[in-house]
Chain A
Amino acid sequence: MAVEKVLITGMGVVSAAGMNVAETLAGFSSGTRNISQTTPSLSPLDYPVFHVSAPLGDPGRFSSRTVHLTFHALDEALADAGLSQDLSGLRVGVCMGTTVASQLNDMDFYTAYRKTGQPPMEPVTGFLKSNLAEAVAFRVKANGPCVTVVNACSSSADAIGVALGWIRNGQCDLVIAGGGDELSRIPICGFSSLSVFSHEPCRPYDRDRQGLNLGEGAGIVILEPESAARRRGSRASLFVGGYDAACDAHHLTAPRPDGSGLEAAIRGSLAEAGIQTQEVGFVNAHGTATRDNDKVEGGVLARVFGTGIKVLSTKGFTGHTLGAAGALEAAFTALALREGWIPASAGFENQDEEIPIGAVRERTTVSARYAVSTSLAFGGNNASLVIGREP
């Protein structure tokens, strides 16, 4: 029996690349990189960051900036799907990815705890109300499965994979999947301690890349089984064709040098989608611009797809948005299939002799029906999503 398609019936994005889909596409087309520097209120460390500077919408009872970013993308995705903000009549699942929002790491709270032993409890109660998936479920009155994936940098790609499973298992009529993360002092300190930051705008896949820049944002996709979506009049043409994940089981922070975990995830996702490698038009790579990531990932992409595969990393426009990255990049991949072009991979100029493939240097037409988005995470998890477009 043929597996029913799982359509992407709505998308919402917010990042330094744009406050919505239209702004993001315009920025991609023009090659604009909205990069700034850390401010003293964010971190005393001076690094380039991709900050969302425009105001966000009303977050209701939630104080977390990650929740604000996520609600901003959620509202766009619901509108794009033609859905109201009250989904209580449907079997709706919510699966979100994040990193920063999962941790009780409020500096003011902890400083007061250390100094006085009597910290204010509002940061704790606020944290306990701000589990990202629970917050989204609360906002739309979702009554189905609800969970937040905290798989570091592959969190929201894995969240989309979990959502795909819920729909294919018949657990949900509709799933809100994606992720969000805010710029925060804590990961800025942490990534700085790991010496993986670049002091200039990041250059994914470039020979002279020096590391990553952090960013913030959120990406949401609304997933529905094709039959249900068509019944309510959706004309969506994009779909999630396949997903897979595999662990390196190698190191807490470094990718497995042979990339076999990533390769297994990509091949598994292609098999689930029922397609061959030559049907994939391009890969939106994880492409953090660290020496290790791009070298390992580039080698795997060449091995799986051949050296002629078109590759880009949208992190040159957004920075590394951590738990939001997988969903943002899945949405960007879907948009590229819909629009028929991918942007120049921002920051890429010179091919690295150690990597058998380079990234695209200019806006490039794509006519393929399928594309792949990859995510590699702290902890060694690798995730791959196959996004498709109906003819």
Chain B
Amino acid sequence: MKGLLIKDFKLLKAQRGFFTVMIFMTVGLAFSVYDTSFIIGYLCFILPMFALSTISYDEFDNGNAFLFTLPISREGYVIEKYGFGILLGIGALILAVALSLIVGSVKGTGDFTDILLSVPYIFSAMTVFLAIMIPVQLKFGGEKSRFVMVALVGAAVALIVGIAKVLGLMGVDTRMLTDILSSLHAGILIAGAVGLALCAALLSIKVSIAILSKKEF
């Protein structure tokens, strides 16, 4: 697994031009918008997406056939992709928080506590994002997975709107739910969000291993 991680970091290094431009753009954005916490969300979704790109790099030119003759297992490959994604996410989070705090203090805007409080939620959202995207990418490959993602987002929105409508018809006040959530202690909310994200990641790893173990190269 260490070898695969090194390979993916080397691939990342090969794209350093793109990432340098992205970081400069982020700094520029941070100066042009009032709320610098925006850049945390931005960086933490863009950078881990490179974990998905490495799956495409591996597939490109039938590369997987050779890759799986190296001393790695299919399970090891899957776990490495999640590990790589999370590592990138944590790296992005640290970079983004630092940038956000620096830009915030230069401009005299932004609340440090708010920025730090948003970290676990963004980390959870990023983990869930990877938990959905990695199995989709492994199953459908780079091209098709974009269409599948659009369909998935559409289905999720339809589902949420549907549930809200049904609850409305049943006479349940949906605002009550948000009231309950906002009345909870921040610690409980954070623990809940992180816990849910980790559960999603574990389930997703299982699904990804099942997808990859059936693949033929």
- Mutual binders A and B: no
Chain A residues at the B interface, C-beta cutoff of 8 Å: none
